[in-house]
Amino acid sequence: MDAATLARTPAVDRARTILRERDAATLAAMVELAAIPAPPFDEAARAGRMRERFHEIGLADIAVDEVGNVLARLPGADAWPRPAAADAAPPGPVILAAHLDTVFPAGTEVAVRDDGGRLIGPGIADNARGLAALLALAHALVESEVATRRPVVFAATVGEEGVGDLRGVKHLFREGSPWREATGFIAIDGTGARRIVNRALGSRRFRVTVTGSGGHSWADWGRANAVHALGLAIGRLARLTLPRRPRTTLNVGRVEGGTSVNAIPAEAWLELDIRSEGPGVLAELESRALREVEDAVAEANGRRRRGTPALGLSVERIGDRPSGETPPSAPIVAAARAATRLVGETPELVASSTDANIPISIGIPAIALGAGGRSAGTHTTGEWYANDGGPEGLERVLITLLSVAGVAV
């Protein structure tokens, strides 16, 4: 069924009307959710509120998993995971997800103010808008009694941002998890109604620490210097040639070391971030970069005075987001394109790092979509949201979701 026909189906048309009629309630939900702090690794309060709302809306099988993701199912379709006794496996569910966490540390003022219709507050768009969209879509689907062919599961996930390293979705799709049988995954993240994230931008992050004996800058001259070694490493990393396609980047983002201008530093560390749209390129760059670091430390050790202690090197992986792609020809991407056109926008396929990275990396068709509206200042305390095209954005997610889940008519 094409997107326009699907949208005209009586139950789906009812759901679209409900989304538009409840626009103000969706904005109120954004304001409320954004004002509940959700710093990295501390999403429980906001998760608790999502759980309550799922309950009020009338979703089934509401649960909070071991890491704090809140899951619920649209009633009506088969239960999932299926009961052990069932002999015929129901089709795998379609998961609609939005992340709970923000980048803002505990203590950040997160209240939202309304500046002539523009909502201003940290996390108001990323991802209070996504969470409110999850609620609005759940509400519209329950009220309109749309019967889907596949189970539809709503997930509010933890740990999407920076240091969270996608831990919510990593848990959801861990080895042996029944959710790995999902037939589709749609992350609602941020705003807009045009872009379709079908490529997962992968990244790996490392903390590289060089340690030595230290010493006096004059009396102990000749001992290996941890900062010098790190400097050699940074020089080598900065000179690496990276492919332009697939787009690949390298960044030494933090450096620290030493205690005094007249002391040979005993320790120095750096934090390195590498990213690529190509999984193979990312793996290759990782080994190249780490080899450069090892060679730099070896070079520094080679220059030290004989008989003095050698520097040690330790590399800790502090982030790992896999890359990959849901092919442009995949039905989920086609569905999102059609839904985008249906709301009068021109679809654009892009790469980004979202909750969809994990399902994409294990071969589950997955995309990320904005939740309508406009925003700017993401990840700053001046973040704002304007509701231009808000309802259309939600309608686009609705039609995409229902195209993938199928509607029984």
**Interface with Zn ion by CB under 5 A: which residues?**
126-127, 189
- DSSP H helices in 240-349: 279-302, 331-342
Name the minimum Å distance from CB 322 to Zn ion. Answer: 17
* Cβ closest to Zn ion, residue 127 vs residue 211: 127
Tokens of 133: 């969209």
Residue 374, beta-bridge partner list = 386
What are the DSSP E strand ranges found in 140-191?
152-157, 184-188
Phi, psi of 110 (to 5 degrees): -115, 10
Name the minimum Å distance from CB 253 to Zn ion. Answer: 20
* Interatomic CA distance for residues 395 and 401, integer angstroms: 10
* Cβ closest to Zn ion, residue 126 vs residue 392: 126
Tokens of 37: 């702090």
* Cβ closest to Zn ion, residue 190 vs residue 265: 190
Name the minimum Å distance from CB 128 to Zn ion. Answer: 10
Name the minimum Å distance from CB 123 to Zn ion. Answer: 9
* Cβ closest to Zn ion, residue 69 vs residue 403: 69
Q: Say which residues have a Cβ less than 8 Å from residue 393's Cβ, sequence separation at least 6.
A: 133, 191, 192, 193, 343, 370, 371, 372, 373
Helix (H) or strand (E) holding 171: helix 167-172
* Cβ closest to Zn ion, residue 123 vs residue 214: 123
β-strand pairing of 94-99 with 70-73: unpaired
The answer to whether 116 and 54 are in contact (CB under 8 A) is no
* Cβ closest to Zn ion, residue 304 vs residue 396: 396
Name the minimum Å distance from CB 125 to Zn ion. Answer: 8
Name the minimum Å distance from CB 127 to Zn ion. Answer: 4
CA distances (Å), origin 381, targets 120, 124, 125: 8, 10, 11
β-strand pairing of 215-216 with 263-264: antiparallel
* Cβ closest to Zn ion, residue 141 vs residue 188: 188
Name the minimum Å distance from CB 189 to Zn ion. Answer: 4
